[in-house]
Amino acid sequence: MSKTVVISGASSGIGFTTAEFLQAKGFNVIGLSRNYPKKEYKFNYFLCDITKEDQVIKVCDEIKKNYDYIDVLINCAGMGVSGAIEHSSITEVRKIFDVNVYGQFLLTKHLIELLRKSNGGKIINVGSVAGEIIIPFQTFYSMTKAAISAFSEGLRIELKPFNIQVTTILPGDIKTGFTENREMPIVVEDKHYKHRIKNSIAKMAKDEQQGMPAIKVSKVILNLIKRKHLPVAKTIGFKYKLFVLLAKILPKSLLSFVVRKMYGE
């Protein structure tokens, strides 16, 4: 019987590509996001803002009505913000944590019951290399992705007795609409920061637009779904694997120097 996969953030980018890819591979895919995909799609779809618990409960109840269990949950919905910490508002910060962290928590919380009923459920959380190597002028994004890795690690241990495995994927730069959808700061230069904010944002946008195609992530996800044992985390992209390894072994001060040279000047 085909496995059932729920994926958030399925209206575009990595989520959409993965939903279409898994549906074509014979999975029964249920996608959700706040908007319908702009492109044609073949998978099942629900509108849901994952930051609103009433909407999450409604969609999960609908899924429960139609399915006895689900096999895989892919928490892919996410957003970016950029800018200097000094110029950021608490509203912006709450918003990114709402989507990237609390939203993932809400969807996960309300689907664990269905995952427990599967014979070996899997949760794949979409983190980022930016959660392992903290990037200035998108510090809050990095914070949310570091939080997702922490969330996954705790959840992994809590759900182990229920035969539910949890992992985080850490994609490097991927060419999607993420760059365009990122919330831009009001202040991009001033007498204190001069061009540093603008330069940093331009560098991250360029990296993303020269990044890997979304299908690369979809293929890794398929591979993880097929695997018997999930790793704690999986970095995507050769050079990013190297970066993450170096971040683990280099002295923090040296890493900070390198990141400052790349994104801080």
Q: Which residues, numbered 60-119, are part of the site for ligand NAP (CB under 6 A)? A: 76-79, 99, 103
At its nearest, how many Å lie between ligand NAP and the CB of residue 74?
Answer: 10
- Determine whether 141 is an active site residue: yes
Among 4, 23, 33, 167, binds ligand NAP (CB under 6 A): 33
Residue 31 interacting with ligand NAP (CB under 6 A): no
Pairing of strands 164-171, 44-47: unpaired
- In terms of CB distance, is 189 or 207 closer to ligand NAP? 207
Contacting range for ligand NAP; rule: CB under 6 A; set: 28-36, 65-73, 191-199, 224-232: 28-36
Angle between helices 103-116 and 139-159 (to 10 degrees): 20
Residues 6+ apart with CB under 8 A from 150: none
The one-letter amino acid at 236 = I
Residue 48: CB partners within 8 Å, gap ≥ 6?
Answer: 8, 32, 33, 34, 55, 56, 58, 59
191 given a catalytic annotation: no
From candidates 3, 27, 30, 49, binder to ligand NAP by CB under 6 A: 49
Among all chains, which residue has been given the structure tokens 């570091």?
146
Cβ at position 106, least distance to ligand NAP in Å: 10
How big is the chain by its Cα radius of gyration, in Å?
18
Site string for ligand NAP, 141-180 (x = CB under 6 A): ------------------------------x-xx-xxx--
Distance CA 247, CA 255 (A): 6
How near is the Cβ of 80 to ligand NAP at its closest, in Å?
6
**119 bridge partner residues:** none
Only one residue has tokens 């730069």, namely 173
Q: Which of 5, 6, 7, 14 binds ligand NAP (CB under 6 A)?
A: 14
Residue 70 or 193: which CB sits closer to ligand NAP? 70
C-beta separation of 194 from 208 below 8 A: no
Q: Give min distance, CB of 93 to ligand NAP, in A.
A: 15
The encoded tokens of residue 190 equal: 């001033």
Tell how far CA 250 is from the center of its chain.
Answer: 26
Question: Where does this chain bind ligand NAP (CB under 6 A)?
Answer: 8-15, 33-35, 48-51, 76-79, 99, 103, 126, 128, 171, 173-174, 176-178, 181, 208, 211
Active-site positions read 141, 145
